[in-house]
Amino acid sequence: MLDYKLLQALATVVECGGFERAGERLGLSQSAVSQRIKALEVRLGQPVLIRHPRLAPTPAGQRLLNHVQRVQLLERDLRTALPTLEEASPRLRIAVNADSLATWWAAAVGDFCRAEGLLLDMVIEDQDVGLKRLRDGEVAACLCASDRPIAGARCVPLGTMVYHPFATPAYIARHFPDGPTPEAFRRAAAIVYGPHDQLQHRFLASCGYHGSFPYHLCPSSEGFVRLTGAGMGYGMLPRMQVASLVAEGRLASIAPECSLAVPLYWHFWRHSGEVLERLTGVLGEVRLS
């Protein structure tokens, strides 16, 4: 039988990104945490962590992390059925894209988390790459744009988020007087969320433009809106996030006829407990647009 203190040490080291911070989280010395990892590796006969050039789980370590996530959820169900067991607040680690977090996510899950006493550890990840977090065992569930379930997991469609290329009217008048032309795209600064953000590229491709373009990098949904509103560039924003700014005439689309519909899917490990199943049911009632 596995020693779950050792598995907890592994999960905490990966989550905290180091032995010292994991020790602080667990109330142990750095040496004690290191000894637990070594004991786990001796038990398995293979390493569970890659230590250089950066700390990361090995394939065996990733499988153990998957297991830890699922056991934690199952133990939560057991505490519900047997309340005399030691009480502990359940914690669920989820990869969520920043735009969902900035718009519909809190309203969708807030009542559920309060009723269940559920704590969320939310990892902010682009909707195109969140599934890798689940596959690597770093999270128990994720929101992403892929409809391809991984082995051992379920995939539930949630709807779509519709994005438009918004900018201030003054920015549009200055940089797009003739509309979204190739010359305008070559010169006008865009705003891109991060290196994995492909929305801007998809929009430009839909306009027939495949060349280079200047851009700001802004890995913050709130900051993204603020930069756009300050006239620093144009960017792909979900309409639900800036509906009031559009209604007030402070933002407008540089190409009103163009939009991108990004599907969102909820992926989670099968047999991970009732709380995750109930959360999935709550998310299934969400209506995105």
Residues 21-76 have pLDDT tens digits of 888 888 778 888 888 998 888 888 888 898 877 888 888 888 888 888 777 777 76
**Total domains in the fold of the chain:** 2
Q: What does the pLDDT read at residue 109?
A: 95
Q: Is the per-residue pLDDT at 234 higher than 90?
A: yes
- Rounded Cα distance, 51 and 57, in Å: 9
Query: The CATH number of the domain where 232 resides is what?
Result: 3.40.190.10
Residue 87 carries which side chain, given as an amino acid letter?
E
Distances (CA, A) of 101 to 36, 163, 259, 280, 284: 35, 15, 21, 16, 16
Structure tokens given for 65:
């992390």
Query: The CATH number of the domain where 9 resides is what?
Result: 1.10.10.10
Q: Which range is least confidently modeled, 46-55, 181-190, 252-261?
A: 46-55
Q: What does the pLDDT read at residue 138?
A: 72
Q: Is residue 126 part of a domain?
A: no
Q: How confident is the model at residue 231 (pLDDT cuts 50, 70, 90)?
A: very high
Helix (H) or strand (E) holding 34: helix 30-44
- The single-letter DSSP state of residue 18 is S
Q: Is the per-residue pLDDT at 118 higher than 60?
A: yes
- Rounded Cα distance, 89 and 274, in Å: 15
User: Among the three residues 21, 37, 68, which one is the final residue of a domain in this structure?
Assistant: 68
The burial of 76, by beta-carbon neighbours within 10 Å (0-12 exposed, 13-18 middle, 19 or more buried), is given as: buried
Q: Is residue 28 part of a domain?
A: yes
Q: Is the per-residue pLDDT at 225 higher than 70?
A: yes
User: Among the three residues 43, 68, 93, which one is the final residue of a domain in this structure?
Assistant: 68
Q: Is residue 136 part of a domain?
A: no
Structure tokens given for 188:
């006008």
Q: What does the pLDDT read at residue 3?
A: 78
User: Among the three residues 68, 95, 118, which one is the final residue of a domain in this structure?
Assistant: 68
- Global confidence as pTM: 0.71
Q: How confident is the model at residue 178 (pLDDT cuts 50, 70, 90)?
A: very high
Instruction: Select the more confidently predicted residue: 43 or 251.
Output: 251
Pairing of strands 91-96, 119-124: parallel
Q: Is the per-residue pLDDT at 277 higher than 80?
A: yes
Instruction: Select the more confidently predicted residue: 16 or 287.
Output: 16
Q: Is residue 146 part of a domain?
A: no
Domain range enclosing 64: 1-68
- For residue 274, the SS3 value is helix
Q: Give the mean model confidence (pLDDT) for residues 148-157.
A: 87
Q: Is the per-residue pLDDT at 78 higher than 80?
A: no
The answer to whether 209 and 183 have CB atoms below 8 angstroms apart is: no
Q: How confident is the model at residue 85 (pLDDT cuts 50, 70, 90)?
A: low
The answer to whether 236 and 206 have CB atoms below 8 angstroms apart is: no
Considering only CA atoms, give the Rg of the chain: 22
Mean pLDDT (the chain) is: 87
What sign does the CA torsion over 120, 160, 138, 152 have? positive
Q: What does the pLDDT read at residue 164?
A: 96
Ranges 8-12, 235-239, 269-273, most confident: 235-239
Q: Is residue 168 part of a domain?
A: yes
Q: Is residue 214 part of a domain?
A: yes
Q: Is residue 267 part of a domain?
A: no
The burial of 233, by beta-carbon neighbours within 10 Å (0-12 exposed, 13-18 middle, 19 or more buried), is given as: buried
163 forms beta bridges with 238, 260
Q: Give the mean model confidence (pLDDT) for residues 6-12.
A: 88
Q: How confident is the model at residue 226 (pLDDT cuts 50, 70, 90)?
A: very high
Q: What are phi and psi of 282, to 5 degrees?
A: -65, -45
Q: Is residue 98 part of a domain?
A: no
- For residue 128, the SS3 value is coil
Helix (H) or strand (E) holding 69: helix 59-81
The answer to whether 24 and 57 have CB atoms below 8 angstroms apart is: no
